[in-house]
């Protein structure tokens, strides 16, 4: 009989456990009905028996709740972090835009102040492009023939001479920079009043050409526009002498010039929309002819 009971338990353990629990429940119900006093002991026994399981289940549930809450917190924190990062990016863009606007405002204020000191009509223009090649030194501006800009007009900035208009369209124009090999500006050395032609040498360099060897030129001398040629008014800053060479026995000497304007960073310019004739003092006087056809001295 015992062998059959053990075989039954091994073969049907779940059914045996359920039967045992039902039997215990019936016993407890009968005990509760018969003896009200003894039930406290049975309840206490059952509670002591079930308490560890309840504690374990409560711990598991609370642990799961804490993990779930931490997961929700991390998800919410990640969202807030992304929102804050985007806000930082937006604020940096806004700050950069405001700083750029302040710098542009300062440049325009300086340009307008310089414009008011000029006794000639000018048109303010913005640089919208620059020739990327190394052979030509030019830039494009957003003003053209519709604004009174014509070929050959002088282009300047508060720092000095920039170049001349090479060609113009209705709303755009190309400026030939003074550093271009094809550029030439009549100039005068401020200290000695020696005259020369400023020609471009590429990059950010120029040279004083046709400068007589007998003229005294030193490093650091300031070079200005002479007013001759009909495009640039007299006295505009061109640059500063950085190197003087007197090679050979020729008539002329060569001086290297650095422009006063950083042509690689210029953003706004002024176009002089007027031409200039040399003054009476600068124009060579022609000898007067006598009625007989000879020259009058």
Q: What is the domain partition of the chain in residue ranges?
A: 2-61, 122-272
pLDDT the model gives residue 25: 63
* Number of separate helices (H) and strands (E) present in the chain: 3, 14
- Residue 135 neighbours by CB distance under 10 Å: 8
Tens-digit pLDDT profile for residues 25-58: 666 666 555 555 555 555 665 665 666 666 777 7
pLDDT the model gives residue 30: 63
Tens-digit pLDDT profile for residues 279-292: 444 444 444 444 44
Mean pLDDT of 265-277: 82
Residue 140 has pLDDT above 80, yes or no: yes
Rg (CA), the chain: 48
pLDDT the model gives residue 97: 77
Q: Which of 110-119, 141-150, 231-240 has the lowest mean pLDDT?
A: 110-119
Mean pLDDT of 211-238: 89
Distance between CA atoms of residues 179 and 256, nearest Å:
12
pLDDT the model gives residue 284: 43
Tens-digit pLDDT profile for residues 50-106: 666 667 777 777 777 778 777 777 888 888 888 888 888 888 887 877 777 777 778
Residue 213 has pLDDT above 70, yes or no: yes
Q: Which carries the bigger pLDDT value, residue 76 or residue 238?
A: 238
Q: Provide the CATH topology of domain 122-272.
A: Thrombin, subunit H (2.40.10)
Mean pLDDT of 118-132: 87
Q: Which carries the bigger pLDDT value, residue 292 or residue 262?
A: 262
pLDDT the model gives residue 193: 92
Burial 69-106 (b: 16+ CB within 10 A, else e): eeeeeeeeeeeeeeeeeeeeeeeeeeeeeeeeeeeeee
Tens-digit pLDDT profile for residues 166-208: 999 999 999 999 999 899 999 999 999 999 999 998 878 899 9
Please answer whether residues 256 and 243 qualify as being in contact, where contact means their C-beta atoms are separated by less than 8 angstroms: yes
Quote the pTM value.
Answer: 0.61
Residue 229 has pLDDT above 60, yes or no: yes
Distance between CA atoms of residues 174 and 145, nearest Å:
11
pLDDT the model gives residue 155: 94
């Amino acid at each position: 009989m015992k062998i059959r009971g053990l075989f039954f338990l091994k073969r049907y353990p779940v059914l045996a456990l359920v039967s045992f629990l039902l039997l215990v429940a019936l016993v407890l119900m009968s005990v509760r009905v018969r003896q009200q006093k003894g039930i406290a002991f049975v309840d206490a026994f059952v509670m002591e028996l079930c308490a560890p399981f309840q504690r374990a289940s409560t711990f598991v549930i609370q642990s799961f709740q804490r993990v779930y809450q931490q997961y929700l917190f991390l998800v919410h924190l990640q969202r807030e972090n992304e929102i804050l990062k985007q806000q930082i990016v937006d604020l940096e863009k806004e700050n950069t835009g405001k700083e750029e606007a302040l710098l542009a405002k300062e440049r325009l204020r300086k340009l307008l102040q310089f414009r008011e000191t000029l006794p000639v009509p000018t048109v303010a223009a913005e640089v919208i492009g620059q020739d990327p090649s190394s052979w030509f030194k030019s830039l494009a501006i957003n003003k053209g023939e519709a604004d009174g800009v014509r070929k050959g007009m002088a282009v300047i900035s508060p720092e000095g001479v920039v170049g001349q208009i090479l060609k113009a369209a209705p709303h755009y124009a190309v400026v030939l920079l003074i550093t271009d090999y094809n550029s030439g500006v009549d100039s005068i050395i401020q200290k000695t009043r020696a005259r020369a032609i400023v020609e471009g040498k590429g990059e950010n360099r120029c040279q004083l050409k046709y400068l007589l060897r007998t003229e005294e030129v030193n490093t650091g001398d300031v070079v200005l526009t002479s007013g001759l040629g009909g495009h640039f008014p007299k006295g505009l800053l061109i640059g500063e002498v950085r190197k003087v060479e007197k090679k050979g026995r020729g008539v002329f000497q060569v001086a290297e010039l650095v422009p006063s304007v950083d042509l690689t960073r210029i953003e706004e310019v002024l176009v002089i929309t007027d031409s200039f004739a040399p003054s009476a003092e600068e124009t060579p006087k022609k000898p007067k002819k006598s009625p007989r056809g000879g020259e009058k001295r």
